Structure 1
Amino acid sequence: MLSLYGPHDPVHAFVPYPDAPVPRAPSGPLSGLSFAVKDLFDVAGYPTGGGNPIVLAMSGIKQHTAPTVQRLLDAGARFVGKTVTDELAFSMNGDNAHFGAPVNPAAPLRITGGSSSGSASAVAAGLCDFALGTDTGGSVRAPASHCGLVGLRPTHGRVSLQGALDLAPSFDTCGWFARDVQTFARVADVLLGREAEAPQRGVRLLWPEDLWALAEPAAAQALRPAAERVQALLGAAAPVEVALDSFDAMYWHFRHLQGREAWLTDGPLIERYAPPLGPGVAERFAWSRGVSDEQVRDAHAFRERFRHRLAELLGSDGVLLMPTMPDIAPLRAVGEAGLEDYRNRAIRLLCVAGLSGFAQLSMPLARREGAPLGLSLLGPAGSDRRLIALAERLAD
């Protein structure tokens, strides 16, 4: 296993826990591959810190391994360590006030994105072959785009989060990162099953014009050649509009639901122990505490309407071709206010999968100013394996 910060972890991706043996099957479909685990998942022999000193102090050494992690071990994958997460998973910046900021190996002057920052950093740096993360509001998709990785936010509930710390359970998902589609698909065979959700029928590619308009013009231009390659392989994308009511409405309803659930999850700990929370995280929890019952009722009703509308738009074979993020990763030096502005713009893109609960796969198909930029495929509920099969076709 990788040890503490130093020559074995030059990008500060790993939480510096003492080594503990984590047995794995001697052979299996993931034999020969190494993996890391975001420090929200239980691994027997280790604490689960959630990026917060109070949670870490209360954790104790876990006696059981989260089922999803165990499936990977049973498939022969080798565990190499637990990775840094943004505090309590309530950030997309990739910086933790207590454990530091993992380096983005693909663009060292820029943020990794979070909250699965350490997992993305470890994979991008070649310190492991793949890594588990979680995605509530974008915590796999943002780092995947920023660090030049393949990353999936699966259909909600598709991959077990038993034995993992919650943030907002009706949005929380378990995803993973890899540097290439072939490795990513091997992991998918274990976590999603090999029963092809994608029969040999065609794909109805859709071009969400309103989502593309959310990207910075220079980012949209940089993504165009990759989008044209996708269309050359899968067919021309028909123009559609995705937003329901407005993107502002989508943004606020998503935030109200996420905020209420985040406060229900972590509010009792915050009120009892008053832990020192990092910049941005403290403000988000304070805001979440004030979300009203009326706002939550309206947001629940909106989510049902949006999910129904997007399901009708996609049908069984529709796939949105869209930017993963509004732009390349911001520079580390941009400051908290600039990062918060970027986060709020990003949520307008990311909340499509969040509100619907549908699958979204980000692929590292473009660059701008030397930094990676992800292009996404978003499909209906249960289309996870189909999206990965499409990415395999693109890679071939």
Structure 2
Amino acid sequence: MHLHDPAHAFVPYPDTPVESAATGPLSDLRFAAKDLFDVAGYPTGGGSPILLAMSGIKTHTAPAVQALLDAGAHFVGKTVTDELAFSMTGNNAHFGAPINGAAKDRITGGSSSGSASAVSSGLCDFALGSDTGGSVRAPANHCGLYGIRPTHGRISLERVLDLAPSLDTCGWFARDIGTFARVADVLLGVDAKPLPAKARLLWPKDVWAMLSAPVKEALAAPSDRVQSVLGQAAPFDQLALESWDAMYWSFRYIQGRESWLTDGPMIERFAPPLGPGVAERFAWSREVTDAQVNSARAFRIAFREKLATLLGDDGVLLMPTMPDIAPLRSAAESTLEDYRNDSIRMLCGAGLSGFPQLSMPLAQRDGAPLGLSLLGPAGSDCSLVMLAEQIAA
């Protein structure tokens, strides 16, 4: 299916036909799925040679993929993921690094690297990814795409490989808001509690303070554009509960414990050679203590309550998606790890709260894309897509 894959976005599985409905709201669109999602006729490798060897050919398709097939979308293949989805660079030691179609000298970001690569390179119209700590939002920022981390639990993750189940979500990418919104209609349904016609836009000063001057400058005009459409954003001092360090470590402890519960038994049994960064993260995760996890879970509940109170039923945060444009492909592993840690501070608010965040490709710096995000109350996913449509128009 992908003999011609100049972006190295797809896992080179043997071509297996996948049936889709003859007609439907997505019947003119082609899509790909991250290789965490089961698709009947294919194995599910999770970016890991060991998991691929253990997988066997799947006989059932993940409900999220099936919903797209039932809507008439045409499946074109499974995309490369960072190893065990536990990375944010887009470099897989075993399957390579997909190409960023919007900035070829820069990383795609991960772990939904192949999906973002395939869409940004024009090899399909949209693609499914997953977002635990930023694995849709980071590549969307880096590759000039619309991307969403939905409300936790909103889209089924049945027959999808876990990383950290209380943080894992199913998202997707598209180059244009029209395509993105059509997929939203199929995967999200309707909001139980939509935002009112006039949402309250909020400006978290502590998030914006994390940016360097050149990044702030690049986001200034796009931010003004959003406010000209949605209304002036009301500034407030602190989104973080306690501090960004407290936010960062609470997220890391929960993700670490759950990822070790998910993949630790396989790692201990087979001792697979894990790629750089991934190996260290799993080794660290193994040592997370019960006390650290219990404290982090209590912190998460408190932060979720704080954010729910702040947003109410009508509040939306306007914030940068990532600290900067994508690092260069040539960057050292230590540079990428530092960037990842900075990024987690910016990304962990949606992860800890479980609230939806949509990244829009509205800015550029040094010729590379830069995203701007809307983060809304739990269950406001469709409303955020509608706001993004208004901004794009």
Report the TM-score range of the alignment, normalised by the length of the smaller protein: over 0.9
C-alpha change, 1:146 and 1:35, in structure 2 (3 Å) is same
Asked if residue 123 in structure 1 is aligned to residue 137 in structure 2, the reply is: no
Asked if residue 230 in structure 1 is aligned to residue 231 in structure 2, the reply is: no
Q: Given that residues 313 and 377 in structure 2 are in contact (C-alpha distance below 8 angstroms), is that contact kept between their aligned partners in structure 1?
A: yes
Aligned-partner Cα distance in 2 for 1:310–1:384: 16
CA-CA distance at 1:105 after TM superposition: 1.1
> Which amino acid letter does the alignment assign opposite residue 341 of structure 1?
D
SS of the equivalent of 2:386 reads helix
CA-CA distance at 1:200 after TM superposition: 4.8
CA-CA distance at 1:282 after TM superposition: 0.2
Aligned-partner Cα distance in 2 for 1:390–1:223: 18
2:325 alignment counterpart: 328
Give the counterpart of 1:32 among 11, 28, 39. 28
Map 1:121-160 onto structure 2 (within 5 A). 121-160=117-156
Q: Given that residues 300 and 352 in structure 2 are in contact (C-alpha distance below 8 angstroms), is that contact kept between their aligned partners in structure 1?
A: yes
1:217 alignment counterpart: 213
SS of the equivalent of 1:333 reads coil
Runs of 4+ more than 2 Å apart = 194-201
Q: Given that residues 197 and 386 in structure 1 are in contact (C-alpha distance below 8 angstroms), is that contact kept between their aligned partners in structure 2?
A: no
Map 1:340-359 onto structure 2 (within 5 A). 340-359=337-356
Aligned-partner Cα distance in 2 for 1:345–1:193: 34
2:92 alignment counterpart: 96
Q: Given that residues 192 and 379 in structure 2 are in contact (C-alpha distance below 8 angstroms), is that contact kept between their aligned partners in structure 1?
A: no
1:3 alignment counterpart: 2
2:52 alignment counterpart: 56
Asked if residue 311 in structure 1 is aligned to residue 302 in structure 2, the reply is: no
Asked if residue 165 in structure 1 is aligned to residue 161 in structure 2, the reply is: yes
> Which amino acid letter does the alignment assign opposite residue 11 of structure 1?
A
CA-CA distance at 1:328 after TM superposition: 0.3
> Which amino acid letter does the alignment assign opposite residue 395 of structure 1?
A
CA-CA distance at 1:195 after TM superposition: 5.7
Asked if residue 174 in structure 1 is aligned to residue 170 in structure 2, the reply is: yes
Aligned-partner Cα distance in 1 for 2:82–2:158: 20
SS of the equivalent of 2:330 reads helix
Aligned-partner Cα distance in 2 for 1:195–1:107: 35
Aligned-partner Cα distance in 2 for 1:343–1:394: 29
1:70 alignment counterpart: 66
Map 1:271-310 onto structure 2 (within 5 A). 271-310=268-307
> Which amino acid letter does the alignment assign opposite residue 83 of structure 2?
E
Query: Higher mean Cα deviation, 209-218 or 296-305?
Result: 209-218
Aligned-partner Cα distance in 1 for 2:42–2:257: 30
SS of the equivalent of 1:94 reads coil
Calculate the TM-score normalised by the size of structure 1.
0.98
CA-CA distance at 1:201 after TM superposition: 2.7
Listed one character per residue, the Cα deviations across residues 177-218 of structure 1 (whole Å, up to 9, x for unaligned) are 000000000000000114685365311000001001112221
C-alpha change, 1:199 and 1:256, in structure 2 (3 Å) is closer
Listed one character per residue, the Cα deviations across residues 264-323 of structure 1 (whole Å, up to 9, x for unaligned) are 000000000000100000000000000000000100110000000000000001000000
1:112 alignment counterpart: 108
Q: Given that residues 137 and 149 in structure 2 are in contact (C-alpha distance below 8 angstroms), is that contact kept between their aligned partners in structure 1?
A: yes
1:206 alignment counterpart: 202
Give the counterpart of 2:80 among 79, 84, 99. 84
1:46 alignment counterpart: 42
Aligned-partner Cα distance in 2 for 1:89–1:310: 27
SS of the equivalent of 1:332 reads coil
Aligned-partner Cα distance in 1 for 2:200–2:55: 47
Aligned-partner Cα distance in 2 for 1:97–1:180: 31
Q: Given that residues 37 and 119 in structure 1 are in contact (C-alpha distance below 8 angstroms), is that contact kept between their aligned partners in structure 2?
A: yes
Listed one character per residue, the Cα deviations across residues 145-172 of structure 1 (whole Å, up to 9, x for unaligned) are 0000000000000000000000000000
> Which amino acid letter does the alignment assign opposite residue 98 of structure 1?
H
Aligned-partner Cα distance in 1 for 2:246–2:189: 36
Q: Given that residues 196 and 385 in structure 1 are in contact (C-alpha distance below 8 angstroms), is that contact kept between their aligned partners in structure 2?
A: no
> RMSD in angstroms over aligned alpha carbons?
0.9
CA-CA distance at 1:233 after TM superposition: 0.9
1:372 alignment counterpart: 369
- Structure 2: give runs of 5+ residues left out of the alignment: none
Aligned-partner Cα distance in 1 for 2:122–2:103: 14
CA-CA distance at 1:46 after TM superposition: 0.2
Map 1:247-266 onto structure 2 (within 5 A). 247-266=244-263
Aligned-partner Cα distance in 1 for 2:189–2:215: 35
Aligned-partner Cα distance in 1 for 2:251–2:44: 27
> Which amino acid letter does the alignment assign opposite residue 260 of structure 2?
W
CA-CA distance at 1:353 after TM superposition: 0.2
Q: Given that residues 174 and 180 in structure 2 are in contact (C-alpha distance below 8 angstroms), is that contact kept between their aligned partners in structure 1?
A: yes
Q: Given that residues 111 and 331 in structure 1 are in contact (C-alpha distance below 8 angstroms), is that contact kept between their aligned partners in structure 2?
A: yes
